[in-house]
Amino acid sequence: MATADRLRKLLLTSEAAAEMDAPGSTDAAVLVPLFAREAELHAVLTERRGDLRRHAGEISFPGGRQDRPDEDLRVTALREAEEEIGLPRGAVELVGALPPTGTFVTSYRIYPFVGVIAPGHEWLPQPTEVEAVLELSLPALVRGYESKRLLGKGVPFKTPTYTVDGHFVWGATARIVEQLLERLEPVL
């Protein structure tokens, strides 16, 4: 099983990720919470409510924009995870980061931070934003990979996708998952 130290060696440091750039005009951060269950790493994601104005019904990692322009993006990721799924900041051991990912429609530059948590959390989804909290095993995500051609605003584009138990992950979240799985491949 991958330990926090082993994961740390496979991921970028927060500083190295901060020096990287991606398309987008607004900085945002997500937390990629990982935990071990039955000898497999699992990631915690959210299914957004279907009635939201932006990204309705999509699957994403907990996260959002900075509260202040000078807010450390790690703080942003931890705060948003606490607000969206009830994951206490103190229950997360940050072990690294992934390259930033841009969103095309909303122009966010998303900085993903990876944290290790204990299994068995009781999730408290933020009712106005989160429909469900998902715990997806990384090996299941690997098996659910498919490169697909999708339509966005009438324009076809090719993107990585992941389907696990009927949950369809695409867009920026799928690109973050792709980076995560590539980096953690030695421990999967």
Q: Is the pLDDT at 1 greater than 60, yes or no?
A: no
User: 39 vs 86, which has greater pLDDT?
Assistant: 86
Q: Which residues contact 188 (CB under 8 A, 6 or more apart)?
A: 41, 138, 139, 142, 181
User: 54 vs 7, which has greater pLDDT?
Assistant: 7
CATH label of the domain that carries residue 158: 3.90.79.10
CA atoms within 13 A on the CB side of 29: 25
* Residues of the domain holding 154: 4-187
Q: Return the closest-CA partner of residue 117 out of 86, 136, 80, 90.
A: 90
Token reading at 124: 């408290």
Q: Which residue has the tokens 């992950």?
A: 169
- pLDDT-derived band at 34 (thresholds 50, 70, 90) equals very high
Q: What is the percent of the chain where pLDDT is above 70?
A: 94
Chain segment 59-68, per-residue pLDDT in tens: 999 999 988 8
Q: Coil, strand, or helix at residue 109? A: strand
Chain segment 90-131, per-residue pLDDT in tens: 999 999 999 999 887 788 899 999 999 999 999 999 999 999
User: 104 vs 159, which has greater pLDDT?
Assistant: 159
Question: pTM above the 0.85 mark?
Answer: yes
State the average pLDDT over residues 20-35: 93
- pLDDT-derived band at 12 (thresholds 50, 70, 90) equals very high
Host H or E run for residue 79: helix 73-85
d(CA 84, CA 63): 8
For the chain, what is the domain count?
Answer: 1
